[in-house]
Every structure is written in structure tokens, then in C-alpha cells.
Amino acid sequence: MIILLRGDLCRDCSIGIQLVAFKNIITHVIKPLNIKSKDINVIIVTYNEKYEKYIKDIFKDYNFFFFIINRQNQVENYINTLNKIPEFLINETNNLLILRSDLCFKQDIDYSRISKDKILVQWNLLHQKSTGEMADQIQFIGANLIHDFINKINTIKIDTKWGGTLHNFYNYVILYFGKEKISYLNYIKDPTPNNDRCEIRGNPRGRFKPHISYKNELGNPLYNYTRYET
């Protein structure tokens, strides 16, 4: 397995909170894999080298890689991050889990639906059923699809909706890989199954927006952002 952690380190938080988040990733993301440490590759892709020595120590039990890219918009950062994966790791038929570095997990990732021939989104719920808008913090790419997936995101625009973001990920996979190739990791019960818009959100902090029709967003039970941790 490749665990690919992308984006800012210490995003609006201290190094202490960031390290706690990485320890939670070991507990809730890596340990549930039940894979030997020598078969787990942890890749950090971020924008500067400031915290490398602290993070290398946290992941000392695994094969560890640290890469720097230039910061651009979210989609370009995502593509450039995947392009940093060493080719030999892909050729070893490793599955790939991609997640943001600022996630502080509260529950285990559910790997019961993973397959080398599937792409999985983070949970079963869409932000909006009618548009296919999807929470975009976590993705799983099966080993047999990684080469094709990386090639496609480099050559075919992913953010044709919600520009500069990954919220179109679900629609993109269905269009270019087929609906039979997509599944999900964690199951979360929809609190309002008859509504088009789901109250469970990728952003873990609920927000009140009185100027539009919905009132409360519930966040999610899977993780918090490091910037909301104290």
C-alpha cells in the first residue's frame, strides 16, 4: 500500500497538533490495513522542508518518502502530487490511498470494499445527489488502475465543475472509468435521505448560512481538520 499525504503541513496549527494528526493516521488509517510495516510506503508531498525531520521520525517504521512541489491551485497540486510517486512503487502493484495531511482521524478507515480494480471515494454520501458533488479529502485507487488514473488526470481536465477543486471526482470516475469501477470506503447513514443536499460534509465543522435554504451542516464523524483541534 502507498499512503500519499498531500498539502500543507501545520496548516493554521502547531507542529504538535500536526504530529498528533499523523499519529492518528497511523492508528486509524495504517493499522487497520493489517499489513506488515515493510509493505507500507508513506509519501509526504508538501510545499517546504521545514518539518521533514519531525515527520520522518513519526513514520520511521515504514518506507518513508518526502517530496516538495510548488504550490498552485488544489487540482494542480493534486496532479503534481501524484506525479511524484516513484515509478517503482507503482510497478510493484501497490494500492494507493490519497489523503490530506491536515486530517485528524476519529474513526478507522473501512477497507472492506477495496480492490485492485476499483476507485473508492471516502464515503457513500454525495454532497448533492443531483449534481454528483463529492467530498474530496480522501481517495483510494486500486493498483491495476493507478497508471491509467495518473495518465487521465494529466491529460483530461478533472474540474469541469467546481473549478480548482476535486468536488467533481465522483462524476469524473464514472465518465472515464465506468460506474462499475467506483465504490466507497466508510459507510455513513444519510441523516436526510430524501433531501438532495446532504448535511454530512467533507468540512468537519458545521456552518450556518441563513441566506440559503439549508441551515446546518453536520460535519462528519470520520475526521476533524487540524486547524480546528486545540
Answer whether residue 194 is part of any domain: no
The pLDDT tens digits for 166-216 are 999 999 999 999 999 999 999 999 999 999 999 999 998 755 444 444 456
pLDDT of residue 217: 77
Q: Is residue 200 part of a domain?
A: no
Give the global pTM: 0.94
pLDDT of 50-77, one tens digit each? Answer: 899 999 999 999 999 999 999 999 999 9
Give CA–CA dist 20/10, Å, rounded: 11
202 domain residue, yes or no: no
- Closest-CA residue to 201 (of 183, 223, 219, 189): 219
State percent of the chain over pLDDT 70. 95
Number of compact structural domains in the chain: 1
Half-sphere exposure of 95 (CA within 13 A, CB side): 18
Residue 74: per-residue pLDDT: 94
Instruction: Let me know: does 8 contact 46? Beta carbons within 8 Å.
Output: yes
In eight-state DSSP terms, residue 128 is B
What's the pLDDT score for residue 218?
A: 86
In a domain, 184, yes or no: yes
What pLDDT, on the 0 to 100 scale, is given for residue 188?
Answer: 97
Report how many helices (DSSP H) and strands (DSSP E) the chain contains, helices first: 6, 9
Q: Does a structural domain hold residue 207?
A: no
Which contiguous run of DSSP H or E holds residue 16?
helix 15-25
Q: Are 11 and 224 a contacting pair, CB within 8 Å?
A: no
Q: Domain of residue 121: give its range.
A: 2-188
The answer as to whether 222 is a domain residue is no
| Ordered DSSP codes for 151-210 | HHHHHS-S-SSSTTSSTTHHHHHHHHH-GGGEEEEE----SSTTSSB-SB-SSSS----T
Question: Has residue 150 been placed in a domain?
Answer: yes
- Domain of residue 55, CATH code: 3.90.550.10
Residue 211 maps to a domain: no
